Amino acid sequence: MEKLNISFIGAGNMACSLIGGLLADGKTPANIHIADTNPERLSSLQQRFAVTLCQSNSAATEAADILVLAVKPQGLKQVAEEIRDSVQAKQPLVISIAAGVQEKDINRWLGSDVAIVRTMPNTPSLIQTGASGLYANDKVTEQQRNIAETIMRAVGVAVWVDSEQQMDVVTAISGSGPAYYFLFMEAMQAAGQELGLDAETARLLTLQTAFGATKMALESSEECATLRQRVTSPGGTTEQALYTFEEGELRKLIKQAVTAAAKRSQELAQLLGEEHT
């Protein structure tokens, strides 16, 4: 892994986080190559990380054992077609982090028979606490799977799914998930304020409670349901709140929301592939 050359096409927010994570893991900066249409961004990244700059997307591809496609989804087809010949000649492992763009479309744009890992990171990856789903096509070797996983682990946890359809569920859980928690915290803070706390106190109590509960759940081998039951005394305050949630059918609402997000993910993937056929 240390000696492999990793190229990034698109040196924006997500590429920057991945590069930062890889360097923190001990990757040699000179073995990281970047190409981007924005020269100022490139030179600021070179100053910050001492990585190798490439003059073109094709040059980045030619330097790559692993090629990370990190442009916006709408720009991916153009980039893929531009580098098609270099990909076919060099045969790198291609990792796409573009949200919603399916492996079959990327493969077609790249000229087919390419080893592709499609990943779906989420926004907390920008602060190294992300959750990424990964899907590999049948050209990807075991060793390449391990490499892809190591790269995505540089910004958080990485989990594999067996079928690409499951990426829609990944999108609905971890991709869109941060917004669900932001909404919940927003509502908790507002309730605290309405009941008499000042804004800063309500915010701090809400955020630290979310963080503490998540840390407890991550560090425990118990199910969330068990942890919930343990902090719910019969006849107590928590029981009253949880009863109110159940009465309002919160679980049903969450299922409906996640299902709606997964359905939308499927529709958008279709559109991205069709629009750019």
Ligand X SMILES: NC(=O)c1ccc[n+]([C@@H]2O[C@H](COP(=O)([O-])OP(=O)(O)OC[C@H]3O[C@@H](n4cnc5c(N)ncnc54)[C@H](OP(=O)(O)O)[C@@H]3O)[C@@H](O)[C@H]2O)c1
Give contact residues for ligand X (rule: CB under 6 A). Answer: 9-15, 35-38, 41, 57, 70-73, 75, 78-79, 97-99, 121-123, 126
Min. distance of Cβ 121 from ligand X in angstroms? 5
Tell me the residue nearest to ligand X as measured from the CB.
12
| Beta carbon nearer to ligand X, 169 or 202 | 169
Q: Which C-beta is closer to ligand X: that of 107 or that of 189? A: 107
Q: Compute the least distance from the CB of residue 25 to ligand X, in Å.
A: 19
Q: How far is CA 92 from CA 2, 66, 69, 87, in A?
A: 16, 5, 12, 7
Find the radius of gyration of the CA atoms of the chain.
22
CA distance 40 to 95: 25
Least distance in angstroms from the C-beta of 189 to ligand X? 23
Q: In what order do the strands lie in the sheet with 93-96?
A: 52-53, 32-35, 6-9, 66-69, 93-96, 116-120, 130-136, 156-160
- Least Cβ distance, residue 276 to ligand X (angstroms): 13
The smaller minimum CB distance to ligand X, of residues 15 and 262, is found at 15
Q: Which residues contact 243 (CB under 8 A, 6 or more apart)?
A: none
Nearest distance from residue 97's CB to ligand X, in Å?
Answer: 4
Cβ distance to ligand X smaller for residue 97 or 158: 97
CB of 5 or CB of 57, closer to ligand X: 57
Return the half-sphere exposure (C-beta side, CA atoms, 13 A cut-off) of residue 67: 30
Residue 88 Cα distances to 84, 102, 221, angstroms: 6, 19, 46
